Structure 1
Amino acid sequence: MTDLHIPEDLLALKRDFLTADTRCHEIADSLPSAVAVLALKANAEPERQADLVEARSDRPRIVGEISRHPWWAGCENRTQASLAVLEAAKTALATPAE
């Protein structure tokens, strides 16, 4: 897969998706469980819930842009190409900006 030349805009979209997904998980993890709220052991946090709804709304849009990218049309094996894009995006996110 090293011979793939992933377009920078596709890589940026995948990084954006991973960042948005991480944000969703961080917000969700900070919320009290529904069970605890219903048992009156925790308070509902409508502001944080609204933050989560907003953060989640970004992901489908980004996925749509990724899946419609013209680069996929030239890929012989989309599964392997998708894995390569994912790994490249993770590597880019893990590499500190200069």
Structure 2
Amino acid sequence: MADLEPPSDLLELKRAFLQLDARCEEISAALPSNVLVLAGQAEPDMEGQAELMEARSDRLRVVEEINAHPWWSGVDDRHAAWMALLKAAKA
């Protein structure tokens, strides 16, 4: 299916998204639990929260660029195209 071969710039965006998503997970895992903070059993990490907000903002920007890419207008099955993009980006 030639129409499901994503262009290189879109692949780069998807790879950037995957890296940013992993970074968000990493930052989030390092932060104290909100439950513990609210219970007074841990201190909030304001620097970590700011870093997470920035990473999430970057991730959202990349998602918007992915969704606005002109390649999508030429695909018939958007779900299959998303899966093809994900598979190609992880390869």
TM-score, normalising length: structure 2: 0.91
Contact 2:5 2:84 in 1 (8 A): no
Query: 1:5: Cα distance to partner?
Result: 2.5
RMSD (CA atoms):
1.1
Runs of 4+ in 1 over 3 A off after TM superposition: none
Superposed, which structure 2 residues align to 1:65-84 within 5 Å? 65-84=65-84
Cα deviation code 1:15-64 (max 9, x no counterpart): 01111111001101111111111222111111101100110001221111
Look up the equivalent residue of 1:87 and give its one-letter code.
Answer: K
Give me the whole-angstrom Cα distance separating, in 1, the residues matched to 2:67 and 2:37: 38
Give the unaligned 5+ runs of structure 2: none
Count of equivalent residues: 90
Give the unaligned 5+ runs of structure 1: 92-98
Percent identity among equivalent residues?
A: 56
TM-score, normalising length: structure 1: 0.85
